[in-house]
Amino acid sequence: MNARLDYFGNSLGGKVLKHLNSANQVLSNSTLPGTTQELVKIRASQINGCGFCTDMHTKDAAHAGETQQRLNLVATWREATVFTDAERAALELTEQGTRVADAAGGVTDAAWANAAEHFDEDQLAALISLIAVINAYNRINIINQQPAGNYRPGQFG
């Protein structure tokens, strides 16, 4: 499988990615825990069916020390006992924020209140933004049919 377009090498696509990458860097430097950030990226990518991003973020998480057991259980986090209450709150917000079109009311007050119990305002802003950014990356890669499987941790600097 080949990508439909060399989006990474395209002048306009490169400019868009530069801004998305800048936003992502701000989030990486936030106080939202790095482990939580990777779990959010993985779960949104799974929901959206973005193989490229799922490949990237599971490999990045493993490279950062995440256990294989937790990576294997992200998709079934509700039944898994290996996630903290804060991680579970972030994963719930991620699912609801990613599946906005599936829920008539969008993100529920209960999901928001649960997240607000575990994260301060800056972390909540980071979490909202991270969900938006990973969904943007997912959509670019899905529309472009970006092949998955060849990502190497640190490949994009």
Radius of gyration of the chain (CA): 15
Does residue 156 belong to any structural domain of this protein? Answer: no
Does residue 93 belong to any structural domain of this protein? Answer: yes
Tokens of 140: 């670019």
Does residue 3 belong to any structural domain of this protein? Answer: no
Look up the CATH number of the domain holding residue 47: 1.20.1290.10
Q: Flag whether pLDDT at 22 surpasses 90.
A: yes
Residue 136: pLDDT band (50, 70, 90) is very high
* Residues of the chain above pLDDT 70, percent: 99
Does residue 42 belong to any structural domain of this protein? Answer: yes
> Cα dist. 147→1, 24, 60 in Å?
6, 21, 17
**What are the pLDDT digits (tens) for 78-126?**
999 999 999 999 999 999 999 988 876 789 999 999 999 999 999 999 9
Task: Report how many domains make up the chain.
Answer: 1
Does residue 82 belong to any structural domain of this protein? Answer: yes
Question: If you average pLDDT over every residue of the chain, what do you get?
Answer: 95
Nearest in space to 25 (alpha carbons), one of 13, 17, 14: 17
Does residue 51 belong to any structural domain of this protein? Answer: yes
Does residue 155 belong to any structural domain of this protein? Answer: no
- The pLDDT value recorded for residue 55 is 97
Does residue 5 belong to any structural domain of this protein? Answer: no
For residue 55, give its domain range: 11-143
Tokens of 128: 């909202």
